[in-house]
Amino acid sequence: MTSVLSFPIALWDHPCSAADQQCALDALEQGSVLLFPQLRFPIDEAEGPLLSPAIAAKSKNVSLDGSSGRLRGSSAGEAELRLLRGMMQRFAASSTALLGHLLPRYQAGLQRARTSFRPVEIARRSTSWRKDDTRLHVDSFPSSPVQARRILRVFSNVNPHGQSRTWRIGASFESVARRYLASLRSPVRGASRLLAVLGITKGRRSAYDHFMLQVHDRMKADLDYQSAVEQIVFEFHAGSTWIAFTDQVSHAAMSGQYALEQTFYLPVACMQDPSQAPLRILQRLSGRKLT
């Protein structure tokens, strides 16, 4: 079972001891969630009106491309968009500072990707089964291949009404992989290149990306697995922050509203123990190279 390990950190630039750094690194790579129950992300008074589902228009999330500054998923006016961009940029910078102090080993290879704001209530949201994040899954991005990189995410619950964000957390990645490996199909020759040429994917999918997309879908489509697998329910309280390798941690977001999330990519080679990576686990179980 995945565990949740708590750290008494209340500042985003908190100087971490070598012992805390090693503890966090070991736990994270072994598939634990790192929890910071006192680490609140501050919302400025002027940003208060942004805490409304209307800011996301018809989308479930607002996303920020850090390199271009482009916002997607909001139909707000120019003044609100400036506030929203500023809030999300502050969260991106805060998340980067936290990882720099807590996980310095990763700094050489860590790549900051998109930032998202999630103002819409998760529970009772109408969506397809494949996009239904209330079903246990591991993360894999259809349009953004990761190739030989990990998906590391920082979340912060900024709900102004004190509502928790509820997750189900399931079994280890290796147990998930063993359950579905025999049903995974090899990629069609030339499909990866064609998807990239047509602009459907941002870069070429590796065999690993292909397999991980199938694991994601197999998990969500398997209702027997969803109900029967050993799992825990965990409440991430308002004002708390947490970190996880979401390509490894089996998770489902059941309820909650108003959260910020920062995605990072980390090359497998930058890990302390690359054998813990889903890529290495799938290669070992399948007996084949996937990147």
The whole-number pLDDT of residue 185 equals 93
Range of the domain at 123: 4-286
Burial 15-48 (b: 16+ CB within 10 A, else e): ebeeebeebbbebbbebbbbbbbebbbebeeebe
The whole-number pLDDT of residue 108 equals 93
Residue 233 pairs in a beta bridge with: 168
In a domain, 101, yes or no: yes
The DSSP bridge pattern shows strands 71-72 and 111-118 to be unpaired
In a domain, 234, yes or no: yes
Q: Which of 75, 37, 43 is nearest to 161 (CA)?
A: 43
Predicted confidence (pLDDT) per residue in 50-87, tens digit: 999 999 988 889 999 988 889 999 989 999 999 999 99
CA 117 and chain centroid, separation: 13
Total domains present in the chain:
1
Residue stretches of the chain with pLDDT short of 70:
1
In a domain, 107, yes or no: yes
**125 in helix, strand or coil?**
coil
In a domain, 291, yes or no: no
In a domain, 123, yes or no: yes
Residues whose CB is less than 8 angstroms from the CB of residue 42 and which lie 6 or more positions away in sequence, other chains included: none
Domain of residue 86, CATH code:
2.60.120
DSSP secondary structure code for residue 113 in this structure: E
Contact between 99 and 154 under an 8 Å Cβ cutoff? The reply is: yes
pTM exceeds 0.75:
yes
The whole-number pLDDT of residue 1 equals 61
The whole-number pLDDT of residue 98 equals 98
In a domain, 28, yes or no: yes
Burial 117-138 (b: 16+ CB within 10 A, else e): bbbbebeeeeeeeeeebbbbbb
